[in-house]
Amino acid sequence: MNRQIQDAYVVAAKRTAVARKGGAFRHVRPDDMLAHVLRGVVEAVPAFDRNEIGDVVVGCAMPEAEQGMNVARIGLLLAGLPVSVPGVTVNRFCASGLNAIADAAIKVMTGQCHVAIGAGTESMTAMPTMMGNKLSINPRAFESAEHVAIAYGMGLTAEKVAQQYKVSREDQDAFALASHHKALAAIAAGRFRDEVLPYTVRTHLPDLDSNTVRIAERVFDTDEGPRRDSSPEAMAKLRPVFAARGSVTAGNSSQMSDGAAAVLLMSEDAVKRTGAVPIARFRSFAVAGVPPEIMGIGPVEAIPRALKLAGMQQADIDWVELNEAFAAQALAVIRTLGLDPAKVNPLGGAIALGHPLGATGAIRAATIIAAMQRGEARTGMVTMCIGTGMGAAGIFERV
């Protein structure tokens, strides 16, 4: 086997539509969502020997309960992949899905295998709280001021970013509203159609009048998050959630959501043998740490590192998917790095489209790959901040 560094090509990228927490995927398990997108990407390319898949790397931010038990392995088996295909779940909170794609790509690039899948799945509906089934923090976090920010909720860190980077309530609200407008326009124009794999949700619910089981089917294919009824007035009325005199509201924060996505990667050799059409080349991935109390600023450190690894300049990037954990941090990142707002989230972001934590990285990668397929971008970057103070960025280039 060739052990030289070689290119890893994206040959397929698919995602589910993103449901609101408690929405269309209320009765759909995260392992089923994962199986659905895994099947989707392998069926999107010409038939190949599935035993060649060297690993299925799946990002998940709360890998427990319904998405525990190494959800990657469960999902791939449910997807009908051969038992010979291994699977691993990785967790880097909100960057998990992107990290999974990078891990899968690196396996191909280093010649460990010719085919690999990077994916992400997350059901925030399945988790009783944002922090999973059981939150237990180390008491040492409170013993000194140094570690206390480990205990900070994400919303509080967004308040700290808003203060430190002087992001006003008005700017946050305007940014959030724009996210909804862009997302609604994108949906209306069918710009997510290529990347979304419709999911037929089949529910078995009791009909208490007739005492029979009522089976209902619904095809879910459109992101649920964007709101038609949002307006500057409605945004302005919302109260700050995380601080008494704060600026971060439910309206200018990302939504809690359910969803999954997968990206199929191949070596040049595999592309030639299988006849798959390469869409993009995986160029680089970088992570960096920042103070936990301003975790939202993470991309400021990660983006330059990823660019450097790819040998690129910021201006070389045509399309940036910057996860909108909070409008406050997204604006702080854009302003600090001088990102071109026109290139950032042209189809809307997590404030409108939702943020199923560990799946988001893979979902937004699918958005960029689809844009490249349509010829709308030559280069693209997925980037996000990460709880407890990190940033991640990954760069793709159209073939």
Q: Please state the closest distance from residue 239 (CB atom) to another protein, in A.
A: 12
List the one residue out of 165, 178, 163 whose CA is nearest residue 242: 163
Binding flags for another protein, 197-236, as an x/- string (CB under 8 A): ----------------------------------------
Q: Please state the closest distance from residue 331 (CB atom) to another protein, in A.
A: 20
Catalytic residue ranges: 94, 355, 385
Interface of this chain with another protein, residues 317 to 346, rule: CB under 8 A: none
The nearer residue to another protein, 22 or 153, going by C-beta atoms, is: 153
Interface of this chain with another protein, residues 144 to 203, rule: CB under 8 A: 148, 151-153, 156, 159
The nearer residue to another protein, 154 or 332, going by C-beta atoms, is: 154
Contact residue for another protein among 243, 277, 309, 399 (CB under 8 A) = 243
Interface of this chain with another protein, residues 94 to 153, rule: CB under 8 A: 133-139, 141-142, 148, 151-153
Q: Please state the closest distance from residue 293 (CB atom) to another protein, in A.
A: 8
- Distance CA(46)–CA(276), nearest Å, equals 6
Contact residue for another protein among 48, 175, 242, 285 (CB under 8 A) = 242
Q: Please state the closest distance from residue 151 (CB atom) to another protein, in A.
A: 4
Tell me, rounded to whole angstroms, the distance of Cα 188 from its chain centroid. Answer: 22
The residues, ordered by sequence, that sit 6+ positions from 143 with a Cβ below 8 Å of its Cβ are: none
The nearer residue to another protein, 129 or 200, going by C-beta atoms, is: 129
Count of residues in contact with another protein, rule CB under 8 A: 20
Q: Please state the closest distance from residue 137 (CB atom) to another protein, in A.
A: 5
**Binding site residues, another protein, CB under 8 A:** 133-139, 141-142, 148, 151-153, 156, 159, 242-246
